[in-house]
């Protein structure tokens, strides 16, 4: 019987898992997903658009599996019935035979939630409050300054100073980097690009905040971007990071415009909600 390549749009809450990739100490998204697929008769190992670290959330992670019978609607219903806490399924679509969740991707959007309000952070499980860190005890953080520093990341560069050395050095393009005010002291750094190195979003956000408060000279930040100057790395914590969307060229994208604009079965509360919790 011929098999088909199936693309699955999954979401998960980072606090429920020790990252995506299978490891000795679980639970991980990969092993949980494989167990859920096995429960509905899909034994093939899923291939993902990329890995996420412990406590990183994913509103849209894309995985591909081979299935014997092209019945994505029934499979999706069965997967939703088996889904454990913290993991869910938004869509299942037959993909082109050449589709690969990672290598076919044209880009990704990440969002990072930052609490810049006064007092204790009311959304501590899915946002970062840098004002509570020792290194940033110099008063309120200027959101406009953070926004201007984020905008400097736009462009095509090596970005070697802003990702782990385990990631290969190559030119990477950040097409959009902006700070959005969600209200009530909560902000969201939105960064889109063609590819990202390990920890890159967390280093970019952490460095922008450090520069905004004066702990990192802005000329050093600029030199790190333009010349690869080594700088003290400030890595924002994982809990504020969300893999928001994976993008594909039209010829490879398994998901329709409707899938993307009105995703099904996504939780309506944070970290997947667009704004503040009600």
Residue 2 has pLDDT above 90, yes or no: no
> What is the arithmetic mean of pLDDT over 249-265?
96
Residue 233 has pLDDT above 70, yes or no: yes
Q: Tell me, what's the pLDDT at 133?
A: 63
Query: What is the distance between the alpha carbons of residues 173 and 168, in angstroms, rounded to a whole number?
Result: 14
Going by pLDDT thresholds of 50, 70 and 90, the confidence category of residue 136 is very low
How deeply is 145 buried, as exposed, middle or buried, from its count of CB atoms within 10 A (0-12, 13-18, 19+)?
Answer: middle
For residue 183, the number of C-alpha atoms closer than 13 Å in the C-beta half-sphere is 5
Going by pLDDT thresholds of 50, 70 and 90, the confidence category of residue 94 is very high
Specify the pTM: 0.94
pLDDT tens digit string along 158-192?
A: 999 999 988 999 999 999 999 999 999 999 999 99
Query: What is the distance between the alpha carbons of residues 38 and 47, in angstroms, rounded to a whole number?
Result: 15
Domains defined for the chain, CATH in brackets: 4-104 (3.30.70.580), 107-242 (3.30.70.660)
């Amino acid at each position: 019987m011929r098999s088909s390549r199936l693309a699955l749009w999954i979401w998960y809450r980072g606090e429920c898992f020790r990252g995506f990739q299978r490891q000795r100490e679980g639970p991980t998204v990969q092993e949980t997903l494989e167990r859920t697929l096995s429960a509905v008769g899909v034994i093939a190992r899923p291939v993902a658009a990329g890995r996420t670290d412990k406590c990183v959330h994913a509103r849209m992670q894309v995985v591909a599996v081979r299935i014997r019978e092209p019945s994505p609607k029934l499979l999706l219903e069965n997967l939703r019935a088996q889904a454990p806490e913290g993991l869910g399924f938004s869509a299942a679509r037959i993909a082109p035979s050449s589709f690969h969740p990672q290598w076919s991707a044209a880009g990704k959007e990440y969002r990072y939630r930052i609490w810049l309000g006064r007092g204790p952070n009311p959304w501590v499980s899915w946002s970062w409050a840098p004002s509570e860190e020792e290194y940033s005890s110099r008063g309120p953080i200027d959101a406009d300054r953070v926004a201007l520093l984020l905008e400097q990341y736009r462009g095509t560069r090596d970005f070697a100073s802003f990702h782990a050395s385990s990631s290969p050095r190559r030119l990477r393009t950040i097409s959009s980097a902006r700070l959005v005010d969600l209200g009530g002291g909560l902000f969201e750094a939105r960064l889109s690009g063609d590819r990202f190195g390990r920890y890159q979003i967390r280093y970019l956000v952490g460095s922008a905040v450090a520069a905004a408060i004066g702990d990192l000279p802005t000329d050093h930040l600029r030199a790190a971007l333009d010349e690869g100057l080594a700088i003290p790395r400030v890595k924002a914590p994982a809990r504020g990071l969300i893999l928001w969307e994976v993008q594909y060229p039209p010829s490879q994208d398994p998901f329709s415009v409707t899938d993307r604009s009105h995703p099904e079965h996504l939780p309506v509360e944070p970290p997947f909600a667009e704004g503040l919790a009600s």
